[in-house]
Amino acid sequence: MTSSAITASGLRKSYGDKVVLDGIDLDVPAGSIFALLGPNGAGKTTAVNVLTTLLAMDGGTARVAGHDVVTETRKVRSAIGVTGQFAAVDELLTGRENLRLMADLYHLKDHGVIEDLLRRFDLLEAADMRAVAYSGGMRRKLDLAMTLVGRPRIIFLDEPTTGLDPRSRRTMWTIVRELVADGMTIFLTTQYLEEADQLADRIAVLDQGRLVAEGTPDQLKRHIPGGHVQLRFASAAELGAAARVLTGSTPDEEGLVLRVPSDGGNKSLRSLLDRLDEYAIDVEEFTVHLPDLDDVFLALTGHSSTQEVAAP
C-alpha cells in the first residue's frame, strides 16, 4: 500500500439537478483515522458509496489502497471492509452463524478467525443467541466483526454509532482505536462532533457537497475566534497588575481570574507567560480554552451540526 490509503481528486456526483458531491479532494494517510464530518444530507454516504465502488462517480478520480475505483473494482473490494449506518446482520442467525456465513463467502477454510472475533468483540457469551435478541450495541459490534472476517486493510465506517447509547458508543470508539493500532486505516463518516474530536487524526467538513475545511481537530478549532487563556492569581493585587499588562484581557475580581484572548498555540502561550515574568507577576494556574467542533461547524457552514440539509 502507498503512504496514502485513499485519494480522490475532483470527485463529483449528481442526481438530476441536485449536486451531491461538488468536486471534492481527499488524501487519507495509511494507518490513520480520517473523519468526514457533516449534517445529514451533506453527501457523506454518497462519498463512501463512490469510494467503495458501490456508486459510479460523474467526474473526478479516486484510488483506494492504490487501486483505481473505476478500472480496478475487484482489487479495491478485496482491500476494504464497509460497515453502513444500519447493522447488516441476519437476525434469524446466531452471532457465530453470521460470522461463519461471512467466512464461507470469503472461502476461508480456517474458521478460527470466528472465535477470535467473538472474543475480541466480547460476544462469546451471546455467540449462540439469535441476533434478533441482540441490543443495538451488540448488533453494531457483530456487524463490524463481520466486516473484519476478510481482514481488510481499509475500513469504511458510515455513521457507525447512530442510535447507540453513550456507553455503547464509547465501546465502539475503543474498538476503532484498537483497529488502527493494528495498522488498519479508518474512513469514518459521522454527524457527531464529539466522535470526530475523539477519534480522528484529520477531519474534513463537508457541507452541501463541498469540503469547506480540513485539518486536525486542533487546527480547525484554532481557526475560529473565541479561544482564550484563563489565568488564576493568588491576590487581587496580582490580578490587577496582570490586567494592566495584558491589554484586551477581562478580569473576574471575585474569582481572581483573568481571561486573555489567545489561539492557544505554544508560541502565544510562551509570549503571554514571558510578559508576566517580565513584570514579576506570578500565576497560580492557567488553562487554555479553545472553541469546540460545534463552534467550528457553525462558523464554517452557517448552521448547527444537527440540522439537516436537503438530501437527494
Does 154 have pLDDT greater than 80? yes
pLDDT band at residue 97 using 50, 70 and 90 as cut-offs:
very high
pLDDT band at residue 306 using 50, 70 and 90 as cut-offs:
very low
Does 101 have pLDDT greater than 80? yes
Domain at 237, CATH number:
3.30.70
Tens of pLDDT, residues 49-59:
999 999 999 99
Within 10 angstroms of residue 88's Cβ, the number of other Cβ atoms is: 14
> What does the pLDDT read at residue 121?
92
Burial of residue 277 (CB within 10 Å: 0-12, 13-18, 19+) is exposed
Last residue of a domain, one of 221, 249, 272: 221
State the average pLDDT over residues 151-155.
Answer: 96
User: What is the DSSP annotation of 196-225?
Assistant: HHHH-SEEEEEETTEEEEEE-HHHHHHTST
> What does the pLDDT read at residue 111?
79
Tens of pLDDT, residues 167-200:
888 999 999 999 999 999 999 998 788 899 999 9
Q: Are residues 275 and 205 in the same domain?
A: no
Contact call for residues 245 and 275 (beta carbons, < 8 A): yes
Q: Are residues 205 and 268 in the same domain?
A: no
Sorted by sequence, the CB contacts under 8 Å of residue 181 that are 6+ apart come out as: none
The string over 251-262, giving b where at least 16 C-beta atoms fall within 10 Å of a residue's C-beta and e elsewhere, is beeeebbbbbeb
Domain at 211, CATH number:
3.40.50.300
Judge whether 108 lies within some domain. Answer: yes
Judge whether 29 lies within some domain. Answer: yes
CA dist., res. 59 & res. 116, Å (int): 41
Judge whether 308 lies within some domain. Answer: no
Contact call for residues 12 and 154 (beta carbons, < 8 A): no
Judge whether 311 lies within some domain. Answer: no
Query: Nearest 5 degrees, angle CA 277-CA 281-CA 285?
Result: 95
Which amino acid does the sequence have at 249? Answer: S
Judge whether 297 lies within some domain. Answer: no
Of 28-32, 142-146, 292-296, least confident by mean pLDDT is 292-296
Of 107, 15, 11, 113, which Cα lies nearest the Cα of 52?
Answer: 11
pLDDT band at residue 312 using 50, 70 and 90 as cut-offs:
very low
Query: Nearest 5 degrees, angle CA 199-CA 202-CA 205?
Result: 100
pTM over 0.85: no
Q: Are residues 257 and 137 in the same domain?
A: no
> What does the pLDDT read at residue 307?
46
Of 137-146, 166-175, 253-262, 294-303, least confident by mean pLDDT is 294-303
State the average pLDDT over residues 152-157.
Answer: 96
Based on the structure, what is the number of domains in the chain?
Answer: 2
Does 297 have pLDDT greater than 80? no
> What does the pLDDT read at residue 309?
46
Does 311 have pLDDT greater than 60? no
> Going by DSSP bridges, is the β-strand pair 185-190/33-37 parallel, antiparallel, or unpaired?
parallel
Q: Select the more confidently predicted residue: 67 or 298.
A: 67
Supply the mean pLDDT for the chain: 90
> What does the pLDDT read at residue 243?
96
Q: Are residues 136 and 282 in the same domain?
A: no
**Locus of grid cell 457541507:** 207
- Residue 22: give the domain boundaries: 4-221
Tens of pLDDT, residues 12-60:
999 999 999 999 999 999 999 999 988 878 899 999 999 999 999 999 9
- Above pLDDT 70, what percent of the chain? 96
State the average pLDDT over residues 120-137.
Answer: 95
Quote the cell numbers at residue 306.
Answer: 444537527
Distance (Å) of CA 182 to CA 45, 128, 171, 179, 200: 26, 28, 17, 5, 16
Does 152 have pLDDT greater than 60? yes
Judge whether 303 lies within some domain. Answer: no
Distance (Å) of CA 294 to CA 41, 44, 173, 205: 18, 18, 19, 12
